[in-house]
Amino acid sequence: MPKNSLLPTSDQFRADFPEFSDKTRYPDPSVNFYLAQADNLLDQDRFGDQFVYLAELFTAHYTEVRGRRSAQAALGGVNSSGGGILTSKSVDKVSASYDVSGIINPDAGFWNNTDYGREFFWWWEMSGAGGRQLL
């Protein structure tokens, strides 16, 4: 039984984030595992109306990271290095790089590895921010 009565189900998560609708790549046990982790770590009384969204962002972040590892494992490899965000790559005569300084939060660490993680981290930080005065 969930600690938080508002905890979304895997069906609600997939409806809100349809990019995770492929149950082969993102199986229910994986999604449910991360929803349970969100339930353990987040408190709906603290996050109020944002609780469901934050639980889903948390789940999307970890589910995407796990999906990447599973895809790599299907090719015969396992990557647990944590790698970080690749900002440039060259293959033969072709190279590409991205300026990610505008979207990467240096304090977010692992959360920078997905769009969902970056957004989760932003909301997480905002929940701890005190009141602000506008002049």
Taking 90 as the threshold, does the pLDDT of residue 127 lie above it?
A: no
Six token digits for residue 60? 């999307």
The CA-based diameter of the chain, rounded to the nearest angstrom, is: 58
pLDDT digits (tens, 9 = 90+) for 48-106: 989 999 999 999 999 999 887 766 666 666 555 545 556 677 788 877 666 566 567 77
Over pLDDT 90: what percentage of the chain? 47
Determine the pLDDT at residue 101.
61
- What residues contact residue 87 under an 8 Å CB cut-off, 6+ apart? 97, 98, 99, 100
| Distance from C-alpha of 29 to C-alpha of 17, rounded to nearest angstrom | 17
Amino acid, res. 34: Y
